[in-house]
């Protein structure tokens, strides 16, 4: 039995509380213990409390002195596109000259250009790239990511991406939750309805037979999949036992939030254009919004989702990076916290809750990760600051001191 004691955290941000995603004023309750400590046995938290009390029960545990730093659960990033080839530097430069996401996609950039590179890449190559990005996440203090397929758009290439994720899980300490996003775009060689048929009748059966994904996602947007097509895909996925997430109302308000409510999805993601009716629908159906301010920022837009209204409507809000080569090339949750506070008027405490415990519940893992309490996995980060608010305040400055996954120091 291996045991570890962490002592003298200036703030031990436990996020202990209700055994469900947090809403309203609960989003501000971080359960902070000053001069806190933890006792860890076999990768799980056994005791959490005042350093003095932990010290009395230390036994033969190895001691880590947090040295008056802030200690928090590892970030849970509930929306990433982790596996892809190439980059989108040309799109980036065009956007800097004022072209929009949609214009660039029409001119040969966008998702399609990443699809072509990803199709041409071998599993070995994709694995090497994803391993590098997994390291980036860990260095930013993220210990779990959700990862979507979606840059293959053929049966073979979507399965290739999902298998790379499965392989990656064996090779890195970052925890990975796979999502099937076959409906990320319509491939050039098929009509929308032909491709929809491939997604439903060919891809989904393979994905479920090989247990390659826990969730199914769809890009519901003008020029991608409309409401009816999205409903068909999500219904088919639900029938075969996948939980649902969706890219909705990102560029236009097409009623995507309402669709996710109708489908009893786990999350509705993006929501930059969602209005009060969409927010009310999500609230009624208990769907968690996943807000992605990194993509708004990187696309050079100023239309952030209406986080305050969502919180007031009682939604269990989640923040994520949307890590991808096109619209959000960042693995940094601290950057997302900064954007949430400065652009969406969330408080630093609300942003922390949204990126840890609430994100964990959105991945059906609230019983294992996202807060620091006995029985949970010892996935935590020591940050080189004393106060959790510094994470959102000093932006663009990595403050990770060390990162632990299941009790092992890996950064």
Interface with ligand NIG includes 114 (CB under 6 A)? yes
Positive/negative CA dihedral, 105, 108, 114, 119: positive
* Distance in angstroms (rounded) separating the CA atoms of residues 407 and 379: 7
Choose the stretch contacting ligand NIG; rule: CB under 6 A; options: 57-65, 125-133, 272-280, 320-328: 320-328
Interface with ligand NIG includes 250 (CB under 6 A)? yes
Q: Least CB distance from residue 188 to ligand NIG, whole Å? A: 15
Cβ(383)–Cβ(141) below 8 Å? yes
Pick from 39, 29, 72: which is nearest to 372 by CA?
A: 72
Helices (H), 122-255: 123-139, 155-171, 192-198, 204-209, 227-239
Residue 6 vs 263, nearer CB to Fe ion: 263
Residue among 95, 245, 247, 365 that touches ligand NIG (CB under 6 A): 247
Residue among 51, 143, 327, 362 that touches ligand NIG (CB under 6 A): 327
Interface with ligand NIG includes 355 (CB under 6 A)? no
- Residue numbers 254-313 binding ligand NIG by CB under 6 A: 295
Residue 214 vs 249, nearer CB to ligand NIG: 249
Residue 148 vs 163, nearer CB to ligand NIG: 148
Structure tokens, 268:
């509705």
137 binds, among ligand NIG, Fe ion, none (CB under 5 to 8 A by kind): none
DSSP per-residue string spanning 151-171: S--SHHHHHHHHHHHHHHHHH
Residue 80 vs 399, nearer CB to Fe ion: 80
Note the maximum CA span of the chain: 67
* Distance in angstroms (rounded) separating the CA atoms of residues 263 and 36: 43
- Residue numbers 146-165 binding Fe ion by CB under 5 A: none
Site string for ligand NIG, 40-69 (x = CB under 6 A): ------------------------------
Q: Number of residues in contact with ligand NIG, rule: CB under 6 A?
A: 14
Pick from 342, 338, 282: which is nearest to 313 by CA?
A: 282
- Residue numbers 217-236 binding ligand NIG by CB under 6 A: 219
What residue is closest to ligand NIG based on CB?
326
219 binds, among Fe ion, ligand NIG, none (CB under 5 to 8 A by kind): ligand NIG
Could you tell me how far CA 358 lies from the centroid of its own chain?
A: 11
Residue 83 vs 237, nearer CB to ligand NIG: 83
Cβ(188)–Cβ(119) below 8 Å? no
Structure tokens, 249:
């109302």
Pick from 214, 145, 132: which is nearest to 174 by CA?
A: 145
**Which residue has 């590179």 as its token pair?**
117
Interface with Fe ion includes 322 (CB under 5 A)? yes
Residue 11 vs 328, nearer CB to Fe ion: 328
Could you tell me how far CA 140 lies from the centroid of its own chain?
A: 13
Q: Least CB distance from residue 297 to Fe ion, whole Å? A: 14
Residue 287 vs 372, nearer CB to ligand NIG: 287
- Residue numbers 73-112 binding ligand NIG by CB under 6 A: 81, 110-111
The DSSP symbol for 19 reads S
Interface with ligand NIG includes 322 (CB under 6 A)? yes
Interface with Fe ion includes 214 (CB under 5 A)? no
Q: HSE-up of 360 (CA within 13 Å, CB side)?
A: 27
In degrees, rounded to 5, the angle at the alpha carbon of residue 12 between the alpha carbons of residues 7 and 16 is 125
Q: Least CB distance from residue 328 to ligand NIG, whole Å? A: 6
Could you tell me how far CA 114 lies from the centroid of its own chain?
A: 20
* Distance in angstroms (rounded) separating the CA atoms of residues 144 and 377: 11
Q: Number of residues in contact with Fe ion, rule: CB under 5 A?
A: 1
Which spans of this chain sit near ligand NIG (rule: CB under 6 A)? 81, 110-111, 114, 219, 247, 250, 295, 322, 324-328
Which spans of this chain sit near Fe ion (rule: CB under 5 A)? 322
């Amino acid at each position: 039995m291996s045991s570890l004691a962490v002592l003298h955290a200036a703030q031990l941000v436990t996020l202990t509380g209700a055994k469900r995603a947090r809403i309203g004023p609960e989003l501000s309750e971080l359960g902070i213990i000053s001069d806190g400590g933890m006792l860890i046995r076999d990768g799980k938290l056994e005791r959490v409390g005042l350093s003095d009390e932990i010290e009395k029960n230390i036994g033969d545990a190895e001691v880590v002195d947090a040295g008056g730093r802030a200690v928090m659960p590892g970030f849970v990033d509930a929306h990433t596109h982790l596996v892809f080839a190439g980059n989108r530097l040309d799109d980036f430069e065009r956007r800097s000259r004022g072209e929009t996401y949609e214009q660039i996609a029409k001119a040969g950039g966008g998702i399609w250009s990443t699809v072509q590179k990803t199709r041409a890449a071998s599993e070995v190559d994709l694995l090497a790239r994803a391993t590098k990005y997994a390291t980036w996440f860990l260095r930013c203090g993220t210990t779990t990511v959700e990862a979507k397929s979606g840059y293959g758009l053929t049966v073979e290439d979507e399965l290739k991406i999902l298998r790379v994720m499965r392989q990656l899980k064996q090779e890195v300490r970052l925890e990975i939750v796979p999502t099937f996003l076959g409906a990320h775009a319509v491939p050039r060689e098929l009509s929308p309805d032909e491709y929809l048929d491939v997604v439903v009748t060919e891809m989904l059966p393979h994905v479920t037979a090989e247990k390659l994904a826990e969730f199914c996602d769809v890009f519901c947007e003008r020029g991608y999949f409309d409401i009816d097509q999205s409903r068909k895909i999500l219904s088919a996925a639900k029938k075969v036992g996948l939980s649902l997430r969706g890219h909705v109302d990102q560029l236009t308000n097409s009623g995507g939030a309402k669709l996710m409510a109708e489908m009893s999805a786990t999350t509705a993601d993006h929501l930059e254009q969602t209005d009060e009716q969409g927010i009310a629908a999500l609230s009624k159906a208990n769907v968690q919004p996943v807000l992605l301010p990194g993509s708004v920022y990187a696309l050079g837009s100023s239309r952030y989702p209406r986080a305050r209204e969502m919180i007031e409507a009682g939604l269990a809000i989640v923040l994520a990076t949307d890590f991808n080569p096109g619209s959000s090339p960042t693995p940094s949750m601290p950057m997302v916290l900064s954007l949430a506070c400065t652009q969406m008027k969330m408080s630093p405490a609300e942003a922390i809750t949204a990126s840890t415990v609430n994100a964990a519940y959105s991945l059906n893992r609230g019983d294992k990760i996202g807060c620091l309490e006995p029985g949970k996995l010892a996935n935590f980060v020591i940050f080189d600051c004393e106060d959790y608010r510094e994470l959102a305040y000093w932006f663009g400055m990595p403050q990770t001191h060390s990162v632990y996954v299941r009790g092992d120091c890996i950064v």
